[in-house]
Amino acid sequence: MRVGTVKEIKNHEYRVGLTPESVRELVAHGHEVWVETGAGNGIGASDADYEAAGATIKADARVVFDGCEMIVKVKEPQAVERAMLRKGQILYTYLHLAPDPEQTADLVKSGVTAIAYETVTGAGNALPLLKPMSQVAGRMAIQAGATALEKAHGGRGVLLGGVPGVLPGKVVVIGGGVVGFNAAQMAVGLGADVTILDRDPDVLEKLDNHFEGRARTLYSGKAALASLVAEADLVIGAVLIPGAAAPKLVTRDMLSTMKPGSVLVDVAIDQGGCFETSKATTHAEPTYVIDGVVHYCVANMPGAVARTSTYALNNVTLPHALRIADKGWKAALRADPHLAAGLNVHEGKVTYEAVARELGYDYVPVADVIA
């Protein structure tokens, strides 16, 4: 199979779909790899590095899209990229379709076979292709929140860890999954006063055992959430419903109860955000203020640490890319129900139930497509 990767064009997105090491693996399996010139610059990988791994360098994205059977990316294709997709082509990347009707309509219209990293499953309903970026985003959320809390950035002027004689900042983490756990780890490490909210008793028990009192856990009811948000210096939104739009847990009315200069970091923004007042921002302009509360809602947080993120992502995406290239997408999905869960769109049909329900499409089960 001829596999291609292109330079990401989303604002301040420096990751790349394939590292030179991943290219070498694909070539060793007998595949041909085309790479857009400069695609790896953001991770310190030159065109020469890709050529040494066996890739062919192409002058622009159009050539790669036109010539390759499978396109491997990081972020969802932007409008100009979606216009280059075609029937019979495989798109393998993050998609986050539920809150993005325009992208979904374009993918349906193109006829492309779109496999989304974020809905590929693993044992125990895990999301292994989402996990490394959730780890990165969770850890970055505390860094970003700590910066936003500085007075020069519009915040309250609170140091999360405090100092002797001064209380630490209060951090509330909504959601105890991968993002929430990693955010809490970072916040605890800084010496902050941390509370984690979740609705799963097993998750709460696991977190409680891990942190051994260094972070508190609390069942997430409406009253508990409202009370903690009002007291918080920093709130991390770390809620995920696989493939579906995130629920709006922090309402506009709740902002009026918060301290002026407190900060909301919405890691769920890729799925529409879990704060009612969230809107996607970029690394160029990461924050905005509503009712005196600083909002940080960057939709591609891991792109800021592109090298770490790209290698972590390739560790989990490459094995599936190899299976798709080796067997063809249909045989690969038949052989692996976890990979089959990643199919979101195929030849004009929406094959992921949560996306179809959210956006009003007829749902076509993956089993019907690969039969």
Q: Is 171 flagged in the annotation as binding?
A: no
Residues 6 or more apart whose Cβ sits within 8 Å of residue 55: 20, 23, 27, 33, 34, 35
Q: Is 227 flagged in the annotation as binding?
A: no
pLDDT truncated to tens, each residue of the chain (371 aa)?
999 999 999 989 999 999 999 999 999 999 999 999 999 999 999 999 999 999 999 999 999 999 999 999 999 999 999 999 999 999 999 999 999 999 999 999 999 999 999 999 999 889 999 999 999 999 999 999 999 999 999 999 999 999 999 999 999 999 999 999 999 999 999 999 999 999 999 999 999 999 999 999 999 999 999 999 999 999 999 998 888 889 999 999 999 999 999 999 999 999 999 999 999 999 999 999 999 999 999 999 999 999 999 999 999 999 999 999 999 999 999 999 999 999 999 999 999 999 999 999 999 999 999 99
Kind and range of the H or E element at 218? strand 216-219
Query: CATH number of the domain at 130-296, please?
Result: 3.40.50.720
Q: Is 344 flagged in the annotation as binding?
A: no
- Indicate the angle between helix axes 201-211 and 178-190, nearest 10 degrees: 30
Query: Which amino acid is present at 214?
Result: R
Q: Where in the sequence numbering do the catalytic residues fall?
A: 96, 270
Task: List residues bridging with 350 in a β-sheet.
Answer: 345, 363
This prediction has a pTM of 0.92
pLDDT, position 242: 85
Q: Is 294 flagged in the annotation as binding?
A: no
Q: Is 239 flagged in the annotation as binding?
A: yes
Angle at 115 between CA 114 and CA 116, to 5 degrees: 115
* Domain boundaries for CATH 3.40.50.720 within the chain: 2-126+306-370, 130-296
Q: Is 134 flagged in the annotation as binding?
A: yes
Q: Is 300 flagged in the annotation as binding?
A: yes
Fold of 2-126+306-370: Rossmann fold (3.40.50)
Q: Is 299 flagged in the annotation as binding?
A: yes
> Phi/psi at 260 (nearest 5 deg)?
-60, 130
